[in-house]
Structure 1
């Protein structure tokens, strides 16, 4: 069968079909008839920047931060958000172990955002508390006590 340009049409995949009973030669890169493509050892990166299982091209899972220390430190600033940040930090580790680059990156960004919000709100809360303590101590030192010495106290 020919295409409109007069060239013979190739089947899907671009490889010409071999007559029945003849086998195509396999590349010399370790492939066998049972495995037409060479297999990568478990845990090894895919060659030529190709994505591995659940990964992204060129992604380095060890470069993704989990912000666990920051999340634990936020307990003293805003403990409610800190708990969620710690949970998201644990998800980062889980996704990194699974090799899921996209989800690990997303969980890392969420952890960073939660920690940043907890730090800002917690710092503002501590500043307001210190100001209120100073104002309270200053107001308490100006209270005068009067002793009744006269007839009408």
Structure 2
């Protein structure tokens, strides 16, 4: 006996009478399990069509956690610009952002990200003011010679 594709049927295996040889006939979908979904909701495992409410970045707690910046590069630059203390603090907070993102903790990751940004800003501003002050003292000192 051959199957519908012209290949021989394996020895000793015969399809039951009245049923197709392999699974369901072409074009038929299997029946879903359980009860149908309530009005306006998608069944489990089905993506929501476009235009329906879903998860978005603007909704609290449901944003794209990978969109939260960790400011790692800025934290490393803060070591050289803003001083060792601010740089180390910024790198530690940046690492916390990464840890919270891996844990899926949206609120704590966002909070640590904002703290990292603040530490980097303060460190760089103070470092920049220190550089300007040192440059002024250097110019005044050289002019006094």
Q: TM-score range by the shorter chain?
A: 0.5 to 0.7
Partner of 1:27: 35
Runs of 4+ in 1 over 4 A off after TM superposition: none
Count of matched residue pairs? 98
Match of 1:139 in 2: 144
- In structure 1, stretches of 5+ residues that fail to align are 1-24, 30-37, 40-46, 141-153
1:79 Cα shift? 1.8
Aligned-pair Cα RMSD in Å: 2.6
Q: Is residue 2:133 matched to residue 1:125?
A: no
Residue 75, structure 1, aligned to residue 79, structure 2? yes
Equivalent residues in 2 for 1:1-153, closer than 5 Å: 26-27=34-35, 48-49=54-55, 56-57=61-62, 59-77=63-81, 78-140=83-145
TM-score by length of structure 1 reads 0.57
Output the CA distance in 2 between the equivalents of 1:48 and 1:127: 51
Runs of 5+ consecutive residues of structure 2 not aligned to the other structure: 1-32, 38-43, 46-52
Larger Rg: 1
Instruction: Give how far 1:26 is off.
Output: 4.2
Deviation per CA, 1:61-112: give whole Å up to 9, x if none: 1110000000100111222111100000000000000011000000000000
Distance (whole Å) between structure 2 residues aligned to residue 27 and residue 103 of structure 1: 39
